[in-house]
Structure 1
Amino acid sequence: MLIDSHVNLHAPQFDEDRDEVIARAREAGVGLMVEISDRLATFEATHALAMAHDDIWCTVGVHPHEARHYPDLTADRLIELAGRPRVIGIGECGLDFHYDLSPRDRQAEVFRAHVHAARRTGLPLVVHTREADDVMAGILREEQSDGAFKFLMHCYTSGRELADLSAELGGWFSVSGIASFKAAEDVRAVIRNMPEDRIIVETDCPYLAPTPHRGRRNEPAYVGRVLETLAEVRGWTHEEALARTTDAFFALFHSVPKPAAA
Structure 2
Amino acid sequence: MLVDSHCHLDFPDLAEDLDEVVARAHRAGVGHMLTICTHVTRFERVLATARRFDTVDCTVGIHPHEAGTEPETAAETLMEMARDPKVVGFGETGLDFFYEHSPREAQARSFREHIRAAREMGLPVIVHTRDADPETIRILEEEQAKGPFPGLIHCFSSGPELAEKAVEMGMMISVSGIATFKKADALRDTIRAVPLDHLLVETDAPYLAPVPKRGKRNEPAFTVHTAAVVAEVKGMAPAELAEATTANFYRLFTKARRPASMAAE
* Shorter-chain TM-score range: over 0.9
Partner Cα separation in structure 2 for residue 239 and residue 16 of structure 1: 31
Deviation at 1:75, TM superposition (A): 0.4
What is the letter of the counterpart of residue 49 of structure 1?
Answer: T
Q: Does 1:103 align with 2:103?
A: yes
Which SS does the other structure have where 1:226 is aligned?
A: helix
Partner Cα separation in structure 2 for residue 18 and residue 56 of structure 1: 12
Deviation at 1:261, TM superposition (A): 3.8
Give the structure 1 partner of residue 206 of structure 2.
206
Give the structure 2 partner of residue 189 of structure 1.
189
Give the structure 1 partner of residue 119 of structure 2.
119
Partner Cα separation in structure 2 for residue 194 and residue 216 of structure 1: 29
Give the structure 2 partner of residue 235 of structure 1.
235
What is the letter of the counterpart of residue 36 of structure 1?
Answer: I
Which SS does the other structure have where 1:20 is aligned?
A: helix
Partner Cα separation in structure 1 for residue 131 and residue 78 of structure 2: 26
Partner Cα separation in structure 1 for residue 188 and residue 178 of structure 2: 9
Deviation at 1:28, TM superposition (A): 1.3
What is the letter of the counterpart of residue 169 of structure 1?
Answer: M
What is the letter of the counterpart of residue 254 of structure 2?
Answer: H
Give the structure 1 partner of residue 91 of structure 2.
91
**Which runs of 5 or more structure 1 residues have no equivalent in the other structure?**
none
Q: Is the 8 A contact 1:71 1:106 kept in 2?
A: no
Q: Does 1:46 align with 2:46?
A: yes
Partner Cα separation in structure 2 for residue 162 and residue 16 of structure 1: 37
Give the structure 2 partner of residue 35 of structure 1.
35
Q: Is the 8 A contact 1:6 1:34 kept in 2?
A: yes
Which SS does the other structure have where 2:62 is aligned?
A: coil
Give the structure 1 partner of residue 17 of structure 2.
17
Give the structure 2 partner of residue 74 of structure 1.
74
Partner Cα separation in structure 2 for residue 111 and residue 258 of structure 1: 29
Partner Cα separation in structure 1 for residue 264 and residue 200 of structure 2: 18
1:192-225 CA distances to partner (integer Å, 9 max, x unpaired)? 1112101010000000000011011000111111
**Which runs of 5 or more structure 2 residues have no equivalent in the other structure?**
none
What is the letter of the counterpart of residue 130 of structure 2?
Answer: R
Q: Is the 8 A contact 2:90 2:125 kept in 1?
A: yes
Deviation at 1:190, TM superposition (A): 0.8
Partner Cα separation in structure 1 for residue 195 and residue 15 of structure 2: 37
Partner Cα separation in structure 1 for residue 162 and residue 233 of structure 2: 20
Deviation larger for 17-26 or 219-228: 17-26
Alignment of 1:223-262 (within 5 A): 223-258=223-258, 261=264
Partner Cα separation in structure 2 for residue 258 and residue 206 of structure 1: 24
1:122-157 CA distances to partner (integer Å, 9 max, x unpaired)? 101100011101100100001001000001110111
Q: What's the C-alpha RMSD, in Å, of the aligned pairs?
A: 1.2
Aligned length: 262
Q: Is the 8 A contact 2:4 2:203 kept in 1?
A: yes
Partner Cα separation in structure 2 for residue 155 and residue 223 of structure 1: 12
Give the structure 2 partner of residue 158 of structure 1.
158
Q: Is the 8 A contact 1:198 1:248 kept in 2?
A: yes
Q: Is the 8 A contact 1:127 1:154 kept in 2?
A: yes
Q: Does 1:64 align with 2:64?
A: yes
In the superposition, the TM-score normalised over structure 2's length comes to 0.96
Partner Cα separation in structure 2 for residue 17 and residue 193 of structure 1: 38
| Dislocated runs of 4+, deviation >2 Å | 257-262
Deviation larger for 30-39 or 68-77: 68-77
Deviation at 1:71, TM superposition (A): 5.3
Deviation larger for 18-27 or 73-82: 18-27
Give the structure 1 partner of residue 221 of structure 2.
221
Deviation at 1:186, TM superposition (A): 1.2
